[in-house]
Amino acid sequence: MRTVFQTGIMLLVVTPLFAGCSGHRSQTIRVPQDESDIRRAVARAAAGDTIVVARGTYRGGVSVPAGKNDLTIRGVDRNAVVLDGRNEQRNAISVHADRVAVLNLSAHNFLENAFYWEDVKGFRASYLTAWDIQGYGIYTEGSSDGTIDHDYVSGAADAAYYVGECRPCRTTITHVVARRSAVGYSGTNASGSLVIRNSLWDENGAGILPNTYANEKLPPQENIVIVGNIVRGSGRAPVPIHTPLAGFIGIGIAIAGGNGNTVRDNHVTDSERYGITIFPTAHHVSFRPAGLTLRPYWHSHGNRVIGNRVSGSGRADLALASGVGDHNCFAGNAASSMSPRQLQTDRCASRGDAAVAAALTAPVQQMFEETISRRKPPDYSSLPAPPAQPNLP
């Protein structure tokens, strides 16, 4: 059943099959006709049920507990079914059960995440809109076998999308938009069968940023594919910042301490610093006492950067930092500036540029403080609401 679920199609056909195995006849619970709010509907629901939410504004703090598997929460109108956190609540919807789908609704002004899956197998986040979030728009941690598609996130002060701490992830992010967030995609230690494709990453601080750090589970980050994306204007617009990765703002696509990844056929334009870059990361992302310098520990190796079009970058369209490992291969990319200059001549370079390393491997706390001081970021709750988005077909 995993293969069917991952396609993002026919979920409502799959759901009764799981329900039937437990002897439960799946039902539809309507909000507010059958239950006054989404939380009450979840409390009433059994595994395999569908919750259909009518137009209106609802409070967040919805939690799907472990065991309520194969649940679907679906709005009747993506733009008119809205969860408002009022800058007081932590999450709009958090999920702790397997194969739960959240579809066709919106959330804004939450302190941590809009839509959150933790330690689950099977999830779907489709046709969702989130804006003005102090943490993440769509966040999955320790979860696998998922689909994130046709979503729109803006004004996330950490990352618009996060898939992390999974091995193998077996997850696809496709046809999404990330706009004016500190990071478009962040994924700490996300490895194996993760594809980020055919999406728009527009005017974020950093565009796409898989990364390795040992303060999260399952390091190092390895073996994902980033293909067919449009990444533009990274670092060029004011964004809210509530992430320790602030020092990487200005990069279109970065492999930060990761191994064996493929970056292929993407179009990256007008990045403030680097278009596509590979660099090592320190062992931990946590802040350290002033004056303590950590040597980079995760030496990126075996990555492939192939057939991308990169232009308009402030420092270099393609860049490789010194301190990385072997077999980082750059080939067939259309780019006008490179660091080091012979990056594509020596296709699988093992020696990078010391200036790139100096810019990207300074202590995390130092880079964060310098970024905040220089950029003076806006408050996450001050960005405008996005335009209306297409509904789930």
φ and ψ at 254, to 5 degrees? -130, 140
pLDDT digits (tens, 9 = 90+) for 265-274: 999 999 999 9
Distances (CA, A) of 71 to 27, 31, 118, 124, 189: 10, 15, 15, 10, 28
What's the pLDDT score for residue 25?
A: 83
What's the pLDDT score for residue 284?
A: 72
Which residue do the tokens 């409070």 mark? 59
What's the pLDDT score for residue 222?
A: 98
What's the pLDDT score for residue 225?
A: 98
CB 249 within 8 A of CB 182: yes
What's the pLDDT score for residue 345?
A: 80
CA–CA separation, 374 vs 364, rounded Å? 15
Which residue do the tokens 């278009």 mark? 275
What's the pLDDT score for residue 325?
A: 92
Q: How many CB atoms lie within 10 A of CB 228?
A: 15
What's the pLDDT score for residue 247?
A: 96
Task: Kindly state the tokens that stand for 346.
Answer: 């020596």
pLDDT digits (tens, 9 = 90+) for 132-155: 999 999 999 999 999 999 999 999
What's the pLDDT score for residue 294?
A: 56
Chunk the chain into consecutive blocks of 10 residues (it has 393) and report each block's average pLDDT, rounded to whole numbers.
Answer: 31 36 79 97 97 97 97 98 98 98 98 98 98 98 98 98 98 98 98 98 98 94 98 98 96 98 98 98 67 72 97 98 94 96 80 94 91 96 97 97
φ and ψ at 311, to 5 degrees? -155, 160
pLDDT digits (tens, 9 = 90+) for 6-24: 333 333 333 333 344 456 6
Q: Determine if the pTM surpasses 0.75.
A: yes
What's the pLDDT score for residue 289?
A: 54
Domain ranges of the chain: 1-135, 151-380
What's the pLDDT score for residue 285?
A: 64
What's the pLDDT score for residue 18?
A: 37
Task: Kindly state the tokens that stand for 331.
Answer: 């080939």
Task: Kindly state the tokens that stand for 385.
Answer: 């609401």
CA–CA separation, 357 vs 351, rounded Å? 11
What's the pLDDT score for residue 21?
A: 44
CB 358 within 8 A of CB 281: no
What's the pLDDT score for residue 373?
A: 95
What's the pLDDT score for residue 283?
A: 78
* Right CATH for 151-380 from 2.160.20, 2.40.70, 3.30.310, 1.10.760: 2.160.20
